[in-house]
């Protein structure tokens, strides 16, 4: 199949899922009893210190939500993003704000999704958690996996990269050795020693690499010099080379870069895509940035229409949120869904990572087992 045909099909699948989803939702939510909401905050201990251009963490604090109705429950997870001033406590406070809408009528909440926007303009991770919990609940109520509910085929699930956070070069090398089964690694850079980092990684593996600067290169000249040096080092593409708001500099960089450029911090939702599309080759879509599965599907359709490549990424998350993102991977070109592997705390079992292949299961909803409430 030609690439153009494939992209057309992917776009149609994305748009189709929105059309077919609504009747399924209506059926699941018809009648029924009272809805209750439970909220929990949990600290996730990390396998290794997690270093990015903007800081280093040894634990992450995520917020969890459980929607229960008719003897069925749905679970959601918020991995708050510090860059957008989000915290687990803020996510939990948002769940409380949403509680009256949810407990009044779950159907009303589902169809008036925009009402959540009026409760808080941000809290994207908390919104993602509620969307996740709703779809988990609907899937369980209808006894259908979420990937099937969205019109997708689990055989299309992708392989994931394994991310190497910024650290001393020997520590970064050790992480590659500790996770030998991955076909592609994602390397975090954005320091003064980026060339040493890439040379150090290249000393221990010849596999393809993807590089994420997390806005760490501060001028277009610095970004171009680094990118064109990396083009000779077996790098597939560069994620977010410069600060998100430098749109004019991105236009300059795109004309000169020897490697494809992917946007991450430069976008959140579907409405951002037309504005930034001319300056990037691809996008990194994350549930925690965009506010959930339904918005992610809208983003896929918009991005494909504009000819962009797509990766789906994550924060440090348990297998709950990773399973939600993994269900969408048949719509994407690349997946970076290793948040559950980066965490030493994972109370859930869901999508499996077999070597580096994401393996979706046939259990209803998000296909996740585990109890924390």
The pair phi, psi for residue 73, each rounded to 5°, is -125, 155
**Cα end-to-end span (Å), the chain:** 47
Long-range pairs, 191-198, Cβ under 8 A, ≥24: 191/53, 191/166, 191/216, 193/169, 194/226, 195/226, 195/229, 196/169, 197/166, 197/169, 197/172, 198/230, 198/233, 198/235
Contact yes or no for 142/339 (Cβ under 8 A): no
- The bridge status of strand 352-354 relative to strand 209-212 is unpaired
Beta carbon nearer to Mg ion, 10 or 81: 81
Q: Which is nearer to Mg ion, 214 or 340 (CB)?
A: 214
DSSP designation for 288: H
Q: Closest approach of Cβ 212 to Mg ion, in Å? A: 4
Dist CA 46 CA 274 (whole Å): 36
Residue with nearest beta carbon to Mg ion? 264
CB 363 to Mg ion: min, Å: 30
Rounded to whole angstroms, the Cα distance separating 337 from 353 reads: 9
Q: How far apart are CA 39 and CA 232, in angstroms?
A: 49
Give least dist CB 215 to Mg ion, A: 9
Shortest distance in whole angstroms from residue 335 CB to Mg ion: 13
* C-beta of 39 vs 283, nearer to Mg ion: 283
Residues sharing a CB contact under 8 Å with residue 321, sequence separation 6 or more, in sequence order: 62, 76, 77, 79, 128, 129, 132, 287, 288, 314, 315, 339
- From residue 246, give the alpha-carbon distance in Å to each of 77, 135, 210, 299: 31, 36, 22, 22
Q: CB-wise, 147 or 237, nearer to Mg ion?
A: 237
Give the nearer residue to Mg ion in terms of CB position, either 241 or 364.
Answer: 241
Question: CB-wise, 66 or 334, nearer to Mg ion?
Answer: 334
For binding to Mg ion (CB under 5 A), which residues are involved? 212, 239, 264
Closer residue to Mg ion in complex, CB, 77/239? 239
Closer to Mg ion by CB, 98 or 261: give it: 261
Q: How far is the CB of 185 from Mg ion (least distance, A)?
A: 14
- Smallest distance from Mg ion to CB 95, Å: 26
Shortest Cβ 239–Mg ion spacing (Å): 5
> In the complex with Mg ion, which residue's Cβ is closer, 212 or 249?
212
Least Cβ distance, residue 186 to Mg ion (angstroms): 8
Q: How far is the CB of 262 from Mg ion (least distance, A)?
A: 8
- Pick from 13, 68, 8: nearest CA to 37: 68
Whether residue 37 contacts residue 370, with contact meaning beta carbons closer than 8 Å, is answered with no
Cα 78 from Cα 86, distance rounded (Å): 10
């Amino acid at each position: 199949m030609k690439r153009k045909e494939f992209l057309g099909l992917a776009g149609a699948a994305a748009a189709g899922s929105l059309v077919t989803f609504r009747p399924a939702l209506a059926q699941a939510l018809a009648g029924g009893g009272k809805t209750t909401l439970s909220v929990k905050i949990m600290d996730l201990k990390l396998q290794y210190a997690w270093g990015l251009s903007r800081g280093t963490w040894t634990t992450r604090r995520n917020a969890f939500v459980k929607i229960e109705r008719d003897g069925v429950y749905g679970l959601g997870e918020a991995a708050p993003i510090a860059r957008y001033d989000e915290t687990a406590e803020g996510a939990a406070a948002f769940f409380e704000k949403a509680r009256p809408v949810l407990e009044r009528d779950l159907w009303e909440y589902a169809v008036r999704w925009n009402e959540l926007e009026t409760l808080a303009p941000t809290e994207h991770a908390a919104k993602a958690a509620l969307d996740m919990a709703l779809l988990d609940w609907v899937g369980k109520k209808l006894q259908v996996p979420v990937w099937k509910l969205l019109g997708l085929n689990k055989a299309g699930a992708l392989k994931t990269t394994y991310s190497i956070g910024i650290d001393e070069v020997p520590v970064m090398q050790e992480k590659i050795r500790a996770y030998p089964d991955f076909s592609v690694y994602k390397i975090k850079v954005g320091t003064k020693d980026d060339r040493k980092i890439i040379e150090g990684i290249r000393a221990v593996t010849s596999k393809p690499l993807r590089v994420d600067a997390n806005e760490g290169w501060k001028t277009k000249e610095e970004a171009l010099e680094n990118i064109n040096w990396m083009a000779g080092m077996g790098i597939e593409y560069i994620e977010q080379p410069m600060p998100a708001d430098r749109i004019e500099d991105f236009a300059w960089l795109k004309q000169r870069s020897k490697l494809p450029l992917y946007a991450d911090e430069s976008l959140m939702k579907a409405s951002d895509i037309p504005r930034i599309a001319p300056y990037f080759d691809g996008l990194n879509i994350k549930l925690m940035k965009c506010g959930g599965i339904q918005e992610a599907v809208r983003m896929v359709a918009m991005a494909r229409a504009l000819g962009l490549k797509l990766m789906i990424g994550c924060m440090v998350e348990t297998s709950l949120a990773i399973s939600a993102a993994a269900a969408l991977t048949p719509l994407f070109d690349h997946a970076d869904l290793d948040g559950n592997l980066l965490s030493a705390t994972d109370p859930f079992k869901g999508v499996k990572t077999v070597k580096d292949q994401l393996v979706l299961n046939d259990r209803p909803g998000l296909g996740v087992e585990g109890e924390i409430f």
